[in-house]
């Protein structure tokens, strides 16, 4: 990354410090991470992708999306990439059940 850029991002994790153009202050912004995995529930096994703040948050989003009364068990890998929360909103993609 070019050190002369005025919007340089400092740090990693849940929150990043961003230097806004024309401003010498560092502003804290939250980040969302992309997770991928498989889950099993009463509805069967499915692949998922989720933009979430943590692995637990990703599994919570999947559980809500499946609308199954049973607990969702799964394996989630990630984060594969991260984006500022003002660019991406939390959400989940659950593979459609084959017909």
Q: 16: domain range?
A: 9-94
Instruction: Look at residue 4 and tell me if it is in a domain.
Output: no
Instruction: Look at residue 1 and tell me if it is in a domain.
Output: no
Angle at 19 between CA 14 and CA 22, to 5 degrees: 155
Query: For residue range 24-77, what is the model confidence (pLDDT) as tens digits?
Result: 665 556 889 999 999 887 767 889 999 999 988 988 888 888 876 777 788 889
Q: How many domains does the chain have?
A: 1
Instruction: Look at residue 3 and tell me if it is in a domain.
Output: no
Distances (CA, A) of 32 to 6, 63, 99: 22, 18, 33
Mean pLDDT value of segment 86-95? 87
pTM for the complete prediction? 0.63
């Amino acid at each position: 990354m070019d050190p002369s850029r005025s919007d340089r991002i400092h740090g990693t994790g849940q929150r990043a410090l961003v230097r806004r153009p024309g401003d010498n202050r560092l502003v804290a912004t939250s980040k969302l991470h992309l997770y991928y995995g498989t889950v099993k529930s009463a509805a069967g096994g499915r692949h998922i992708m989720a933009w979430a703040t943590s692995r637990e948050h990703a599994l919570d989003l999947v559980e809500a999306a499946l609308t199954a009364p049973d607990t969702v068990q799964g394996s989630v890998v990630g984060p594969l990439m991260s984006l500022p929360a003002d660019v991406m909103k939390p959400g989940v993609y659950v593979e459609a059940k084959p017909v």
